[in-house]
Amino acid sequence: MFFALTDDQREFDAAVRGYLAERFDLEAVRGVVEDPAGDGHPASLWKAAAEQGWPAVLVPEEHEGLGLGLVEAQVIARALGAGVAPGPWRGTVLAAEAIRLAGSPEQQAAWLPRLASGEAVGALAPRGSAPGTLPAVEYGAVADVVVVRSGEGLALVEASAFSATPQGSYDGTARLASLAVDGTGEALPGATAEIVAELTARATVLVAADLVGIAREALSRTVAYDRDRQQFGVPVGSFQAIKHALADLHVGVTMAEHAALYAAHAVDAGLPDAALAVAVAKAKAGDVALDATAAMIQYHGGIGYTWEHEAHFFYKRAKRLAGQFGDSDAQRARIAELTIDTVPA
Amino acid sequence: MDLTYTEAEEEFRSELRSWLSANIPDEWTRPGFWESLDDDESFRLRRDWERDKALAGFAGIQWPTEYGGRGGTPGMKAIYDEETVRAHAPRTVNPLGLTFLAPTVMAIGTEAQKKEIIGPMLRNEVIWCQGFSEPGAGSDLAALTTKGVRDGDDFVVNGQKVWTTNAVHGDKIFTMVRTEPGSSKHRGISMLLIDMHQPGVDARPLKQMSGASEFGEVFFDDARVPARDCLGEIGDGWRTAMLLLSFERGASGIAQYTEFRRQYDQIVEVARALGRDKDPVMRGTLARVLTELECLRLHAMHVLTQVEQGRDLGFEASMTKLQWSEAFQDLWEVFDDVLGEDATLDSIDGIDLRPLHAQAMWSRSVTIWGGSSQVQRNITAERVLGLPR
């Protein structure tokens, strides 16, 4: 039994976090948040990400990727969530996943090396289908290629074939765009219903992992603040009203960490309970991220409600991601289907 | 990531499975069977069955063979926990001994204590009770006042313990006793192993809100215990107790998950029978608690991994307790939601609800004993998160 990150996976985690801490800290995030008209896609960060192989994580080695698994990808996603980092990493990884899972050899050869190297930016349209208008596509405005639903399957739409209209969003740590697509795109021939479901599962796991990263960081920062912040002559963290809330959050965040890790493994290994694992991970991660980021504001007191404090970066990002690929209620509806309507063996 | 067990562990699983299937009567797996017996009858039946199981080699899975154990791995212990629940094996009659005392003896006991205590415990020749809580010392355990006064080679013990599991069936009791006159708080306490079959010890059942009497009270009136029957150093009982309580973690989370998941399925069955399984609010509520149960399973795999890697989990045990006890309690609150306005009825539409109500009542106790949820939150906040006391 080994349910944990390996040493290599821990090193990967430390590398991503180390880079963000040194080169793209919360002041840099603030720069992106306070420039809502900008593309939210800092060149220095993307260059470093590409150099360190973050977009290449799931691309097979034959296409110049790292050939690693969803466990490693969720390590990166979690670290990016903890850093509330902007950029089109997830969309690029998921576009590559769609092409890896369902693309023709020609499509794979054309796109995977470019997506792995960061030369091309990818996106995944979570809603709508081509032709039509696809709302709230993460980093759709800077994407070179977008994976969209088309009929029952999936298709690629290149930048020349859509027009992007930026959509304002109070989560300033990412950029969203509405994409108008005229044609049906270039079909991904292998996109069966099972492959579409697997792509959605992978997307859901990566969003859950980002939420878990947000939640843990929000909690850690709040604990650190409440250890020092004095009121009534003592640290506020010595009050049980606060201690118990933070202890419960620690338990919840830890469970969400387990759930995201397990879901990543279950999807990669094709375990029989993968669908349940993904729904559990997303439901738990979404709930705990909303709770932890709300607690971050509450247990910083007034300063936590100000623009100058970073709590709102975490809170707003959690609000956006908690709804992605099915919010907690939608995940619970799925869990109910899997455990109430299916009589156990 | 490797969520499998070794070949030897899987072999152990099939060996255990066949023994269990040959040795558990069908009748025992019927819902409500155990609740239909009186406490003494249930105890006797379980004690004898468990002895036979030990004699067949399925006890003390991870304790060395020289002390009567099987010499297995932590993975085998997890498999044992899971399979016994799966097979509807009767609950152990020696839970405090097996869960708490045995690992503590293995960690700090003398060679003689290991030999004298482990084997007889595994064969249920000695049923162990725990003497910690007192009427005036619950969560504040260090307020205990049961006194032990040295008299030659013995201590003479006076005082009262409460919430003692299996008190009326117990043979021996590991007891926190203040052995240094005038000491206070955590100092001057010893963990004495007291024979309950003596005139100075009186055990009485305590009827719980469920109507059952798993717990009892134990009165010491000039009870005698040899001073050598002290676990850990004399006067160092607090440290012994903290070590002992830390063993609640183990790998039993996998067994708990297996049991709770079966209970979830039972509750779903009732919801289906009552036509309440299509209600979207009910479905969301059930899914919420299922989420917590799944997290418990994953947490158990995490704990088992840490144990196998030889890592000390330390105060993480508090998190384990919080997760399982709160999830279990939530599960049984959902049961009441399923029953709705008929929540208190003994039966609905011919479904006997009493065994399920018994679980629901029991669920009120689990967030109190073994360190209440409030104490666990304090420990988690102070010892894990580092918040100031």
* Phi, psi (degrees; rounded to nearest 5) at A186: -100, 110
Do B223 and B256 lie in one domain? The reply is no
B316 falls within a domain: yes
**Lookup: tokens for B219:** 């009165």
B352 falls within a domain: yes
* CATH number of the domain within which B28 lies: 1.10.540.10
Partner B contacted by A75 (CB < 8 A): no
Do A304 and A183 lie in one domain? The reply is no
Do B223 and B262 lie in one domain? The reply is no
B118 falls within a domain: no
Partner B contacted by A336 (CB < 8 A): yes
B108 falls within a domain: no
Do B214 and B253 lie in one domain? The reply is no
Query: In this structure, are residues A16 and A300 in contact, taking their beta carbons and an 8 Å threshold?
Result: no
Partner A contacted by B218 (CB < 8 A): no
Distance CA A147, CA A185 (A): 9
- Residues of B whose CB is below 8 A from A340: 268, 271-272, 277, 283, 286-287
Q: What is the pLDDT of residues A104-138, one digit of tens each?
A: 999 999 999 999 999 999 999 999 999 999 999 99
pLDDT of residue A143: 98
What is the domain range of residue B45? 7-93
Distance CA A150, CA A184 (A): 6
A344 falls within a domain: no
Q: What is the three-class DSSP state of A166?
A: strand
Radius of gyration of chain B (CA): 21
Domain total for chain A? 2
Do B284 and B371 lie in one domain? The reply is yes
Q: Final residue of a domain: which of B93, B114, B146?
A: B93
A1 falls within a domain: no
Mutate: best of B81, B291, B301, partner A, most A CBs <10 A: B291
Given a cut of 70, the residues of chain B with pLDDT beneath it are 248-251
Q: Are the beta carbons of A259 and B298 separated by less than 8 Å?
A: yes
Q: Final residue of a domain: which of A187, A215, A239?
A: A187
Give the H/E segment covering residue A179. strand A176-181
Do A214 and A105 lie in one domain? The reply is no
* CATH number of the domain within which B366 lies: 1.20.140.10
Residues 222-281 of B with CB under 8 A from A: 264-265, 268, 271-272, 277, 280
Name the percent of chain A lying above pLDDT 90.
99
B60 to A1, B20, B91, B94: CA distances (angstroms): 20, 16, 15, 12
pLDDT of residue A263: 98
Do B266 and B211 lie in one domain? The reply is no
Of B304, B385, B389, nearest to A1 by CB-CB distance is: B304
A2 falls within a domain: no
> What average pLDDT does range A90-96 have in this prediction?
98
Kind of pairing between the strands at A145-150 and A122-129: parallel
Residues 286-315 of B with CB under 8 A from A: 286-288, 290-292, 294-295, 298-299, 301-302, 304-306, 308-309
Q: How many other C-beta atoms can be found within 10 angstroms of the C-beta atom of residue A344?
A: 10
Q: How many other C-beta atoms can be found within 10 angstroms of the C-beta atom of residue B3?
A: 15
Of B272, B305, B381, nearest to A1 by CB-CB distance is: B305
Do A213 and A166 lie in one domain? The reply is no
Kind of pairing between the strands at B128-131 and B172-178: parallel
Q: What is the DSSP letter of B137?
A: B
Distance CA A190, CA A170 (A): 37
Residues 207-246 of A with CB under 8 A from B: 223, 226-227, 234-235, 237-238, 240, 242-244, 246
Sole residue written with tokens 């960061």: A118
Q: Are the beta carbons of B387 and A238 separated by less than 8 Å?
A: yes
Q: Are the beta carbons of A251 and B319 separated by less than 8 Å?
A: yes
- Residues of A whose CB is below 8 A from B268: 339-340
Q: Which amino acid is at B180?
A: E
Partner B contacted by A270 (CB < 8 A): no
Q: Exposed, middle or buried by CB within 10 Å (0-12, 13-18, 19+), for B284?
A: middle
Do A90 and A162 lie in one domain? The reply is yes
Q: What is the pLDDT of residues A48-71, one digit of tens each?
A: 999 999 999 999 999 999 999 999
Q: Final residue of a domain: which of B202, B234, B266?
A: B234
Q: Are the beta carbons of B377 and A3 separated by less than 8 Å?
A: no
B114 falls within a domain: no
Q: Final residue of a domain: which of A187, A216, A248?
A: A187
Do A161 and A22 lie in one domain? The reply is yes
Q: What is the three-class DSSP state of B130?
A: strand
* Phi, psi (degrees; rounded to nearest 5) at B63: -90, 150
pLDDT bin (cut points 50, 70, 90) of residue A33 is: very high
pLDDT of residue B39: 84
Do B362 and B277 lie in one domain? The reply is yes
B62 falls within a domain: yes
Q: Final residue of a domain: which of B234, B258, B279?
A: B234
Query: In this structure, are residues B194 and B176 in contact, taking their beta carbons and an 8 Å threshold?
Result: no
Of A243, A244, A262, nearest to B298 by CB-CB distance is: A262
Do A156 and A208 lie in one domain? The reply is no
**Between A and B, how many residue pairs show a Cβ–Cβ distance under 8 A?**
145
Mutate: best of B249, B295, B367, partner A, most A CBs <10 A: B295
Do B193 and B318 lie in one domain? The reply is no
A151 falls within a domain: yes
**Lookup: tokens for B324:** 């399982």
Distance CA B206, CA B201 (A): 16
Of A254, A256, A277, nearest to B319 by CB-CB distance is: A254
Q: What is the pLDDT of residues A274-305, one digit of tens each?
A: 999 999 999 999 999 999 999 999 999 999 99
Residues 66-85 of B with CB under 8 A from A: 75, 78
Do A32 and A173 lie in one domain? The reply is yes
Distance CA A250, CA A256 (A): 10
Q: Exposed, middle or buried by CB within 10 Å (0-12, 13-18, 19+), for B314?
A: exposed
Do A147 and A210 lie in one domain? The reply is no
Do B84 and B146 lie in one domain? The reply is no
- Residues of A whose CB is below 8 A from B258: none
Query: In this structure, are residues A147 and A122 in contact, taking their beta carbons and an 8 Å threshold?
Result: yes
A314 falls within a domain: yes
Do A43 and A178 lie in one domain? The reply is yes
Partner B contacted by A280 (CB < 8 A): yes
Domain total for chain B? 3
Query: In this structure, are residues B122 and B59 in contact, taking their beta carbons and an 8 Å threshold?
Result: yes
Do B206 and B254 lie in one domain? The reply is no
Q: Are the beta carbons of B294 and A280 separated by less than 8 Å?
A: yes
**A198 CB-side CA count, 13 A:** 20
A279 falls within a domain: yes
**Lookup: tokens for A211:** 């939420």
What is the domain range of residue A318? 193-339
Do A126 and A224 lie in one domain? The reply is no
Do A224 and A176 lie in one domain? The reply is no
Radius of gyration of chain A (CA): 20
A248 to A242, A275, B92: CA distances (angstroms): 10, 27, 31
* Residue A345 predicted with pLDDT over 60: no
Q: Exposed, middle or buried by CB within 10 Å (0-12, 13-18, 19+), for B50?
A: buried
Question: Which sign, positive or negative, has the C-alpha torsion B109, B115, B120, B126?
Answer: negative
Mutate: best of B288, B289, B298, partner A, most A CBs <10 A: B298
Do B12 and B88 lie in one domain? The reply is yes
Do B253 and B380 lie in one domain? The reply is yes
Residues 74-133 of B with CB under 8 A from A: 75, 78
B277 falls within a domain: yes
Query: In this structure, are residues A74 and A207 in contact, taking their beta carbons and an 8 Å threshold?
Result: no
| Helices (H), ranges, B60-110 | 74-86, 95-96, 102-108
**Lookup: tokens for A137:** 């596509």
From A286's Cα to the closest Cα of chain B, the distance in A is 12
**Lookup: tokens for A168:** 């304002």
* CATH number of the domain within which A95 lies: 1.10.540.10
* Residue A250 predicted with pLDDT over 90: yes
Q: How many other C-beta atoms can be found within 10 angstroms of the C-beta atom of residue A151?
A: 12
A96 falls within a domain: yes
pLDDT of residue B244: 92
Name residue B161's beta-bridge partners: B218
Give the residue numbers of B annotated as catalytic, written as ranges: 248
Do A36 and A173 lie in one domain? The reply is yes
Residues 6+ apart with CB under 8 A from A224: none
* CATH number of the domain within which A219 lies: 1.20.140.10
Partner B contacted by A3 (CB < 8 A): yes
Q: What is the pLDDT of residues A204-245, one digit of tens each?
A: 999 999 999 999 999 999 999 999 999 999 999 999 999 999
Distance CA A331, CA A204 (A): 10
Of B4, B286, B376, nearest to A336 by CB-CB distance is: B286
**Lookup: tokens for B376:** 């666990």
Query: In this structure, are residues A70 and A265 in contact, taking their beta carbons and an 8 Å threshold?
Result: yes
Residue of B nearest to A338 (CA): B287
Do B253 and B376 lie in one domain? The reply is yes
A345 falls within a domain: no
B313 falls within a domain: yes
What ipTM was predicted for this assembly? 0.96
